[in-house]
Amino acid sequence: MIVIAKIGSSSLTTSTGEIDHGAVAKLCGEVAALREQDHHVVIVTSAAISAGLGPLGIGPEDRPNDPELLRAASAVGQIALMATYKGHLAANGLTAGQVLLAPTDLWNRKRYLKSRGTLEALMARGVVPVINENDAVADDEIRFGDNDRLAALVAHLIDANHLVLLTDTPGLFTADPRIDRDASLIEEIVEIDHQLELVAGGPGSSIGRGGMASKLAAAKIAAWSGVETTIAQSDREQVLQDAVAGTAGVGTVFRAKDQRLPARKLWIAFAIPAAGRIVVDDGARIALEANQKSLLPAGVVSAEGEFDRDEAVELVDGFGDVFAKGIARWSSDELADHVGVKTADLPDGLVAEVVHRDGLVILPS
């Protein structure tokens, strides 16, 4: 079994913003216990920025908004964070392998395959990959956004069996337990719907970017990858072992979908950014969703944004609801000149399909 263990900044740092060695030691000990059971474990870690603020003379309560300063903090903190993991994994007889990923490593198909090959090579040799986003050089407009989503995409990348999102709460509650005393833990979720997303609420603490909403989004990605997800409290004893074993009450468990999206379509749906949008009419939406047809120019109402051939685009209906995503076979300029045109009237040089059904995925609701 391959297990992805993601742990957030608030679970890895002290109140003064320093790396919590006890928390890292606990996690590494549990990773070692899973390795003794012949499970491979990949750690996706946060806290590089948090760990780097102190050495730069910035307290956790004064976390800056300046992106260049945050990137500098990441560069400093990443060294300390990885040294901590290296030491505690070594104390358990394990070797750590640092892997810094950028969105292009998962958006570009060639780099996607190379990233998978690197992780598989590390695991084959008994190394524990420790993954983080490459925040030191991340573009503010092109980034994963949070490590929950990164962990879910890594789970898909290497065909993991279980994703464990470790946080400072026991899981997802029926309401915010800080406000509602009657809030109770939701132990199992089969389907993620809009009502559940409302329960998850907004962002988390000021220490990290992720909150319960981001964990719910990650669980949705994982579910469509065929990966079971558990949200659990990081300081619970043997939390990783209990999550993998399916121990009752360990946290909130999200069941994987019985029908997985094909690898390429999952990659289109979740791993690559949309460069623009194509608005379609009602007839086109029905043809795409119910009849699994390709998108033809006759069903297009308009194009939004600028995109080239072979870039990803979102498909939206007349109400602005995004219902599909695909790889455009036309550029936005070509589409603007031929909106609503019948296939028989297309000029030479344009294929009939604006988005071919083989490169189209109906997004999970």
Which tokens sit at 136? 């030191």
Q: What is the mean pLDDT of residues 244-258?
A: 94
Q: Say which amino acid occupies 56.
A: L
Q: Quick check: 142 pLDDT over 70?
A: no
> Taking the CB of residue 94, how many other CB atoms lie within 10 A of it?
18
3-state secondary structure 132-189: EECCCCCECCECCCCHHHHHHHHHHHCCCCEEEEEECCCCCECCCCCCCCCCCECCEE
pLDDT interval class at 138 (50, 70, 90): low
Residue with tokens 């500098």: 72
What's the maximum distance between 2 C-alpha atoms anywhere in the chain?
70
Given a cut of 90, whether residue 251 has pLDDT beyond it is yes
Phi, psi angle pair for 92, to nearest 5°: -105, 15
Q: What is the pLDDT of residue 3?
A: 98
In angstroms, the CA 217 to CA 321 distance is: 18
Q: Is 330 helix (H, G, I), strand (E, B) or coil?
A: coil
Q: Compute the distance between CA of residue 346 and CA of residue 200 in angstroms, rounded to an integer.
A: 47
**Region 343-351: what's the mean pLDDT?**
91
* Cα dihedral 269/270/274/279 (nearest 10): 40
Distance CA 327, CA 272 (A): 10
Q: Examine the pLDDT at 143 and tell me if it is beyond 70.
A: no
213: Cα within 13 Å, side-chain hemisphere = 12
pLDDT at 27: 98
Q: Stretch 219-248: mean pLDDT, rounded?
A: 95
pLDDT on residue 93:
98
DSSP state of 291: S
Predicted confidence (pLDDT) at residue 361 exceeds the cutoff of 60: yes
Q: What is the pLDDT of residues 260-291, one digit of tens each?
A: 787 778 878 887 889 999 999 999 999 999 99
What pLDDT is recorded for position 139?
59
Beta carbons within 10 angstroms of residue 115's beta carbon: 21
Say yes or no to pLDDT of 338 above 90: yes
Q: Tell me the torsion sign for CA atoms 82, 88, 89, 91.
A: positive
270: left (phi over 0), alpha (psi -120 to 50) or beta: alpha
Q: What is the pLDDT of residues 25-59, one digit of tens each?
A: 999 999 999 999 999 999 999 999 999 998 999 98
Q: What is the pTM of this model?
A: 0.83
Intervals of CATH 3.40.1160.10 along the chain: 2-260
Q: Is the pLDDT assigned to residue 18 strictly greater than 70?
A: yes
Q: Check whether 200 has a pLDDT greater than 80.
A: no
Does the pLDDT of residue 196 top 90, yes or no?
no
- CB contact at 8 A, 215 and 148: yes
Mind listing the pLDDT tens digit for each residue in 94-137? 999 999 998 778 777 788 889 999 999 999 999 999 999 887 77
Q: Which CATH superfamily is domain 2-260 in?
A: Acetylglutamate kinase-like (3.40.1160.10)
CATH architecture classification, 274-362 = Roll (2.30)
Q: Which of 91-95, 177-181, 242-246, 303-307 has the lowest mean pLDDT?
A: 177-181
Task: Encode burial over 156-179: b for 16+ CB neighbours within 10 A, e otherwise.
Answer: bbbebbbbbbbbebbbbbeeeeee
The mean of the pLDDT values for the chain is: 90
pLDDT score at 179: 84
pLDDT digits (tens, 9 = 90+) for 206-221: 444 447 888 998 998 8
Closest CA to 29 of 199, 235, 191: 235
Parts of the chain belonging to CATH 2.30.130.10: 274-362
Q: What are phi and psi of 315, to 5 degrees?
A: -105, 130
Q: Contact 223/257 with Cβ under 8 angstroms?
A: yes
Are residues 304 and 336 in contact, defined by beta-carbon separation less than 8 angstroms? Answer: no
* Phi, psi angles (nearest 5°) of residue 141: -95, -10
Q: Is 79 helix (H, G, I), strand (E, B) or coil?
A: helix
Q: Quick one: pLDDT at residue 206?
A: 40
Round to whole Å and give the CA distance between 229 and 223.
7
Say which residues have a Cβ less than 8 Å from residue 330's Cβ, sequence separation at least 6: 297, 309, 338, 350, 351, 354
pLDDT at 365: 62
pLDDT of residue 300: 97
Nearest alpha-carbon partner for 229 in 248, 209, 215: 215
